[in-house]
């Protein structure tokens, strides 16, 4: 295994904006790092440059401390899995997985041992004698993943390898990928636009957008303390509510105010986030749906209790997501199922909800940079 360092990497295609714009990050030996971002963020371009399938316009790629400039793909000892399977149709499953090991003249007993361990975890042990034409798309992709994992590669590059699998198999594979990584002490750089994969599997996450690094951190860091509005809205399901507000002060009390929406800020929270040193003005208020709570009608008019109407309701088994329309704003509220209630409010019904003044995010309205985050350790609302 080896560590990976990306230093000021840049890649341009024609006269358009660069696909990668001076990005830097590292992957430690035996670390599982995710490149997370929307389509067009530069994730796959980064993988291709690391594998040597494309050449950068600037910057360096160091694998195990060795500069990869001018090093051919076959000499980099990287294993790459694409979002679509690529199997040899004339070989059965066993030989597809054994092929990279045979190229290295590995002993037959070791080949069978490695393939046996990986195929058991991937659930493809019963497919060893079949050819690709006899496999489903999901089975073919699992074989392609297995063919990469049996190698003793310096780093494994994964380009959305489970995106084409069904939901149940993806959930299984999220768990098994971590198991495989630990068992083989693998160094993995994994590309995804699926934040659930990144949050559940990654040791660290590199969030990309439009070819730039937006934030690097652990899944908890990224979720709890997003560096800017883009990260805040991209990471989290349901997504964070964001509202353009005006931050005002009157008689020593700070509020954020929008049309038909006003919240009084906790004075201690204001001081701890040094907001009292900033002049009043426009900000973006961020509210996680899981930190909003439904309130009974008799609490209407109390501080930080807002009113609206039910716009939509999504029932998710033990959880319910409410879309609430308040003025010209649509907010999402996540709630655990209330065992004492058998009915859901109808569309258009009036509703009240409470906002925890310690559970707020604030972002600069112009730059999107984070100004304040919730108090650490806040419990998720019921």
Give me the pLDDT at residue 167, please.
84
Place of tokens 């990279």: 100
Q: What is the mean pLDDT of the chain?
A: 90
- Are both 128 and 258 inside the same structural domain? no
Cβ neighbours of 288 (radius 10 Å) = 25
For helices 137-149 and 167-184, what crossing angle results, to 10°?
10
Q: Which residues of 189-220 are buried (b: 16+ CB within 10 A; e: fewer)?
A: bbbbbbbebbbebbbbbbbbbbbbbbbbbebe
- Are both 257 and 197 inside the same structural domain? no
Domain boundary among 226, 249, 264: 226
Give me the pLDDT at residue 338, please.
59
- Are both 299 and 360 inside the same structural domain? yes
- Are both 220 and 294 inside the same structural domain? no
Structural domain contains residue 339: yes
Structural domain contains residue 382: no
- Are both 243 and 210 inside the same structural domain? no
Cβ neighbours of 113 (radius 10 Å) = 13
- Are both 105 and 40 inside the same structural domain? yes
- Are both 159 and 216 inside the same structural domain? yes
Q: Output the pTM of the full model.
A: 0.89
Cα–Cα distance between 249 and 256 in angstroms, integer?
9
Alpha helices by DSSP H, listed for 9-107, are 43-51, 93-103
pLDDT in tens, the chain (382 residues): 789 999 999 999 987 889 999 999 999 999 999 999 999 999 999 999 999 999 999 999 999 999 999 999 989 999 988 866 678 999 999 999 999 899 889 999 999 999 998 898 888 999 999 998 899 877 888 898 889 888 888 999 999 988 877 888 888 888 878 887 888 788 999 999 999 999 999 999 999 999 999 999 999 999 999 999 999 999 999 999 999 999 998 888 898 998 878 888 999 999 988 898 888 899 999 999 999 999 988 888 788 899 999 999 998 878 899 999 998 889 999 988 654 454 678 899 999 999 999 999 999 999 999 999 998 766 444 4
Tokens coding 193: 């636009």
Residue 39: φ, ψ to 5°: -60, 135
Task: Say if residue 16 is exposed, middle or buried (CB neighbours under 10 Å; 0-12, 13-18, 19+).
Answer: exposed
Residue 238: cis peptide before it, omega within 30 degrees of 0: yes
Structural domain contains residue 299: yes
Give me the pLDDT at residue 183, please.
80
- Are both 254 and 110 inside the same structural domain? no
Structural domain contains residue 319: yes
CATH code, 186: 3.40.50.300
Residues in the chain: 382
Place of tokens 């208020």: 285
CATH code, 276: 2.40.50.140
Give me the pLDDT at residue 200, please.
92
Cα–Cα distance between 240 and 372 in angstroms, integer?
15
Structural domain contains residue 381: no
Give me the pLDDT at residue 377, please.
64
Structural domain contains residue 358: yes
* β-bridge pairing 20-27 and 155-159: unpaired
- Are both 24 and 109 inside the same structural domain? yes
Q: Do 276 and 231 touch, CB atoms closer than 8 A?
A: no
Structural domain contains residue 379: no
Task: Say if residue 229 is exposed, middle or buried (CB neighbours under 10 Å; 0-12, 13-18, 19+).
Answer: buried
Give me the pLDDT at residue 85, please.
66
Domain boundary among 210, 226, 242: 226
Cα–Cα distance between 35 and 191 in angstroms, integer?
5
β-bridge mates for residue 41, sequence order: none
- Are both 238 and 185 inside the same structural domain? no
Domain boundary among 186, 201, 226: 226
Structural domain contains residue 377: no
Element (H, E) at 6: strand 4-11
Per residue in 141-192, pLDDT (tens digit) is 889 888 988 888 899 999 998 887 788 888 888 887 888 788 878 899 999 9
**Number of domains composing the chain:** 2
Alpha carbon 50 to chain centroid, angstroms: 21
Q: Which domain range does residue 21 map to?
A: 4-226
- Are both 39 and 67 inside the same structural domain? yes
- Are both 271 and 219 inside the same structural domain? no
């Amino acid at each position: 295994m080896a560590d990976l360092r990306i230093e000021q990497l840049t890649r341009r295609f024609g006269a358009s904006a660069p696909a990668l714009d001076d990005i830097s990050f590292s992957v430690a030996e035996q670390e599982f790092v995710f490149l997370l971002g929307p389509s067009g963020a530069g994730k796959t371009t980064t993988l291709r440059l690391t594998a040597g399938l494309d050449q950068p316009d600037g910057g360096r790629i160091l694998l195990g401390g060795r500069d990869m400039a001018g090093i051919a793909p076959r000499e980099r000892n990287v294993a790459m899995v694409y979002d679509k399977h690529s199997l040899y149709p004339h070989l059965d499953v066993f030989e597809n997985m054994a092929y990279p090991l045979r190229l290295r003249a590995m002993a037959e007993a070791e080949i069978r041992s490695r393939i046996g361990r990986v195929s058991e975890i991937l659930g493809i042990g019963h497919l060893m004698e079949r050819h690709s034409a006899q496999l489903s798309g999901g089975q073919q992709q699992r074989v392609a993943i297995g063919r990469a994992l049996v190698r003793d590669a310096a780093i494994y590059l994964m380009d959305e390898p489970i995106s084409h699998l069904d939901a149940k198999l993806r959930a299984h594979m999220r768990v098994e990928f971590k198991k495989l990584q630990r068992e083989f002490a693998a160094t993995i750089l994994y590309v995804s636009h699926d934040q659930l994969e990144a949050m559940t599997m990654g040791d660290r996450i590199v969030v990309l957008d439009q070819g730039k690094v937006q934030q690097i951190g652990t899944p908890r860091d990224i979720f709890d303390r997003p560096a800017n509005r883009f990260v805040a809205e991209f990471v989290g399901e349901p997504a964070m509510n964001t509202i353009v507000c005006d931050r005002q002060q009157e008689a020593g009390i700070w509020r954020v105010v929008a049309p038909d929406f006003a919240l009084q800020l906790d004075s201690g929270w204001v001081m701890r986030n040094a907001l009292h040193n900033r002049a009043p003005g426009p900000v973006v208020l961020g509210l996680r749906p899981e930190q909003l709570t439904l309130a009974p009608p008799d609490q209407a008019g109390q501080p930080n209790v807002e009113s609206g109407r039910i716009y939509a309701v999504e029932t998710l088994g033990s959880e319910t997501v409410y879309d609430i329309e308040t003025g010209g704003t649509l907010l999402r509220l996540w709630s655990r199922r209330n065992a004492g209630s058998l009915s859901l409010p109808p569309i258009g019904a009036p509703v009240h909800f409470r906002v925890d003044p310690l559970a707020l995010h604030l972002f600069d309205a112009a730059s999107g940079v984070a100004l304040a985050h919730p108090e650490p350790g806040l419990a998720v609302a019921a």
